[in-house]
Structure 1
């Protein structure tokens, strides 16, 4: 039996260890930090057991050809951040440390000679002087999260405007901010890294978050950690009206150990801001968010954003201007190692603020997002979001503004960003710098709807030109857009029966359905079929061409 004296001595020595930091204080401290890091701060370099490099991926509605290209050797790209975008038909991206690259279909990756003014050298110099930063978890943690967050680009008058969000080190203040910068490259179609080197001084600073985040951040009364550069946000979208929308994360200013910045209108953190690209004036669009990594518009100009919750409560949100989404006062998630969120008055509820369209419990570490457009037909109009922890794509079908289904698609890699290329291929950028191409299978949607209708090349060319003219006002896929009339399933459909807004009163008053005979009559002379129609008269007098058009419309099923 252990005597009471031995127990008392052990307790007294334990108190002395904590008070005077004598042996084995440092060992215990490092073990605690390691446990905290492993459980709270996810290892962004982690990769699950990946599926086979190449092959097919089955989803509920479609089969995709999958091509995986690992870019670890070309360009020595760094993962755990960065992103990809497309401009002028060219896919460009940036890794977490600021290395730019171009990706070509089939896995051809080349470095671009573009320098980003992220002053990482200055930051590294400071970090080397911080005691123990190289020897304990802090150095690895800081480098992992002090990074480039995202990239977007758009063509303006023939020039590529490239926007990047990244961590910026303010040397004199020993603090950091989230910086947004713009680079304009003229004649980007002909840009080549072999011809032109882009120096860092060509970037224009558009925005800096405020107040600056100091290197040392007090957590409670007893211990101090380096600034937490996680929860950085960095998602971006362009609204087509000369504004850039940017998400700024809360950086752990969550009201638990420090001030709840997302509810403070003076602070940048926990906000989505709108930047006027002409005046560079910025304004708060919404507040009360945690870590908005994905921001995108849909075809109806609705603005969406993804937001990572704590332990649970990842969100898909629809932007309402000047709305408050409640973080950190409400969430569907909980604190790590607990079954509650301390600030939530009603646990498990999201009351009193604008709520998400959908939330995930447990967390999937939601990141990027897009709306699927044009192709594939079966997915058209759905949303596609990405997951870090679950290593998935998730397809969301919305009906009347509500999520009706969520289909997870396993990839085996932490997905950081994605885009739908101009030819319909989905390109995924992962945290291990691997690229995954998903191309819809040929027998699913890539078949030529024109094939086999006519063998004569001249007539085929004339027919394709006619159909190209029709595309100016009509869609050949099943996206029943209110502003563009779809011809999908038109044969047999009741006349003027979709949600299209542009139907003329003449067509609305016309009874019956689009039989093949009615379609021929309408295409032969629309004004005679429905006097007063807004449809320009096609006056197709060639009966063979009429037959071709109707045969083509029958294929749109």
Structure 2
């Protein structure tokens, strides 16, 4: 049978009717699936097997969630990492593994005298002196209800989906203010009688005469619960029954007796749960909460948050938090008393699937509710943060933000309540917590249960020269400060060393040389073909208006608006070149 006979046969009703019917059914099924998903994912109409579809979405796109890397195989980081690289100096790393009793991640760090106190997600508390010097202390955690919840998850609520390892202790804080001294612990609690959960804070008083944590022994009953969120939340039928990784639960203290708690919304956002609690003023979720340790009274400081995992006070009293977005929209927020930060009605991110959040008031904008000081797009999964003091003059006063999915530290400089820059420092670990100990060392706690200490490595000759040159120069103080800031900004893309190219050419190698003549391979055609050399006048003019000196250059305007600062930078580059030679 040739091709023409086959075509003729297919044109008869005996053949084309069944084939046509099958095609109609196929296209109808495809259209039905598309319309169902559109209704489910965009409109959130609970049609068809809604919960199964939602779980399917979670599985498909779940690799973007915070917990994606928790089961990743350890890849020799402990053995192979002895330094990290930042713009101004390298960081020496010493790290060790802490033996935690069960699977999971979480916890927090505080300082107590010479010791660092680490609380694991389990509630186990370790005193740590160095990467190889640790011991478990004789302090039991308060009763969180973990054992009862685990039994309920395996028993009467086994028909729901659980992630028991996310039921955890979230932070520890040593408070030492006059007669008010002790440890505060924040955690998820489970009320077995009511079958519900939420955030709680307990306090363990410690006498002022105690000089070492080794002298403290405490049972679960020695803790006093000082706060519990309301309402107590029922288990969810959507996705996970309890989403403990969305608890927030980080703490900061303000004298004389105020404890500030970040209370997350446990994924009660109208998507993963039937109701969004962050905007609800009668619910203690998605809020920054101030707790009076003297009276036990509590109040909402701000609302409209998602999952805040970092909180700190600046010396001037400003309160800052970092919080997780979904896909994009991690935020650094300056907390304004009474302000609404918009979640889930406004965000600079999307759902994990890439679709817009339902019922948002703006898409890709944040101009209706209190806007963030800074947002990360894409998300780095911000964890906690600490304020750096007496560590290194190029870092002091900056925030250090930990990240989970990004596996990095981010050094953030804030000026006049605005972010000047955010330097990313690659670490290669999911960093759960970062803390500066009272001896100046920076301490990291990772999801692989590593404790890591960071200290400045020996400053190289170029950096020493820059610091000495600026200090001894006969410029006004404002010019020196502006030049230091400019060096930090330029250092985000360039090295001042003559032998280290980064995103841009090494600045330490260009003065008094032909324009575009270093061995950096990223010059634009305009720069590579430009005649002349980088003398002081040309450098200052280029810093004022790059395109006027080299038309078509890819170098953006460095925004050095002050002529004195431009001249100082040009003078510094010439001095580095002459010093090196």
Task: Please indicate, yes or no, whether the TM-score normalized by the shorter chain is above 0.5.
Answer: yes
Cα distance, 1:33 vs structure 2 = 6.5
Q: 1:124 aligns with which of 150, 165, 170?
A: 150
- Tell me how far 1:70 sits from its aligned partner: 1.3
CA pair 497-435 structure 1, distance change in 2 beyond 3 A: same
2:113·2:212 contact (CA, 8 Å) conserved in 1? no
Q: Which runs of structure 1 show a deviation greater than 3 angstroms over 4 or more consecutive aligned residues?
A: 1-12, 26-41, 46-54, 75-79, 130-133, 156-160, 442-445, 488-499
TM-aligned CA deviation for residue 396 of structure 1 = 1.2
1:39 shift after superposition: 5.1
Match of 1:293 among 283, 298, 309: 309
Q: Which residue of 2 aligns with 1:148?
A: 169
Distance across 2 between alignment mates of 1:272 and 1:173:
25
Matches within 5 A, 1:361-440: 361-440=377-456
| CA gap 1:87/1:27 in 2 versus in 1, 3 angstroms | closer
- Match of 1:230, SS? helix
Partner residue in 2 for 1:202? 222
Aligned to 2:372: 356
TM-score, normalised via structure 1 length: 0.71
Quick one: distance in 2 between partners of 1:53 and 1:70?
14
User: Once the 2 structures are TM-superposed, how far is the Cα of residue 249 of structure 1 from its aligned partner?
Assistant: 0.7
**Number of aligned residue pairs:** 435
Q: Which runs of 5+ in 1 are unaligned?
A: 16-25, 446-476, 479-487, 500-557
Distance 2:307 2:456 in 1: 32
1:252 corresponds to 2:267:
yes
Quote how far apart the aligned CAs of 1:34 are: 4.3
Aligned residue number for residue 127 of structure 2: 102
Q: 1: distance between equivalents of 2:145 and 2:237?
A: 25
1:245: how far off?
Answer: 0.4
Q: CA 1:265–1:55 in 2, change beyond 3 Å: closer, same or farther?
A: same
Query: For the residues of structure 2 that align with 1:374 and 1:147, how far apart are their CA atoms?
Result: 33
* Equivalent position of 2:116 in the other structure: 91
Q: CA deviation at 1:184?
A: 1.4
Aligned 1:35-434 pairs, distance under 5 A = 35=60, 37-38=62-63, 40=65, 42-43=67-68, 45-47=70-72, 49=75, 51=77, 52-72=79-99, 76=101, 79-116=104-141, 117-130=143-156, 132=158, 138-139=161-162, 141=163, 143-157=164-178, 160-186=181-207, 187-192=209-214, 197-215=217-235, 217-219=236-238, 225-256=240-271, 257-434=273-450
Cα distance change, pair 444–188 in 1 and its aligned pair in 2 (3 A): farther
CA contact (8 A) 2:123 2:140 kept: yes
What do the CA deviations read for 1:433-488 (whole angstroms, capped 9, x no partner)? 1011111124479xxxxxxxxxxxxxxxxxxxxxxxxxxxxxxx99xxxxxxxxx9
Aligned equivalents of 1:319, 1:379: Cα separation in 2: 23
- Judged with a 3 Å threshold, the aligned counterparts in structure 2 of structure 1 residues 498 and 54 are, in CA distance, closer, same or farther, namely closer
1:252 is paired with a residue of what secondary structure?
coil
Q: How much does 1:370 deviate? A: 1.3
Q: Could you list the per-position Cα deviations for residues 76-114 of structure 1 after superposition, in whole angstroms to 9, with x for gaps in the alignment?
A: 365411011112232101111111111112431211121
- Between the aligned partners of 1:351 and 1:366, the Cα distance in structure 2 is 22
Per the TM alignment, residue 238 of structure 1 is displaced from its structure 2 partner at its CA by 0.3
CA offsets, 1:100-143, max 9 Å, x none?
A: 1111124312111211121212222222214656xx9x34x2x1
User: Contact 2:114–2:129 at 8 Å: present in 1 too?
Assistant: no
1:388-409 Cα deviation digits (max 9, x unpaired): 0011000112233221211111
What TM-score, normalized by structure 2, do the two folds share? 0.68
Whether the 8 Å contact between 2:62 and 2:352 is mirrored in structure 1 is no
Going by fraction, where is helix more abundant, 1 or 2?
2
Q: CA deviation at 1:239?
A: 1.1
CA 1:280 to 1:44, structure 2 compared with 1: closer, same or farther past 3 Å?
A: farther
Residue 228 of structure 1 deviates from its aligned partner by 2.7
Q: Is the 1:78–1:432 Cα contact (8 Å) retained in structure 2?
A: no
The alignment's C-alpha RMSD in Å is: 3.5
Identify if the C-alpha distance between structure 1 residues 31 and 275 changes in structure 2 by more than 3 Å, giving closer, same or farther.
closer
Q: Structure 1 residues 308 and 29, CA, compared in 2 at 3 Å: closer, same or farther?
A: closer
User: Is the 1:98–1:118 Cα contact (8 Å) retained in structure 2?
Assistant: no
Aligned mates of 1:374, 1:59 — CA distance in 2: 17
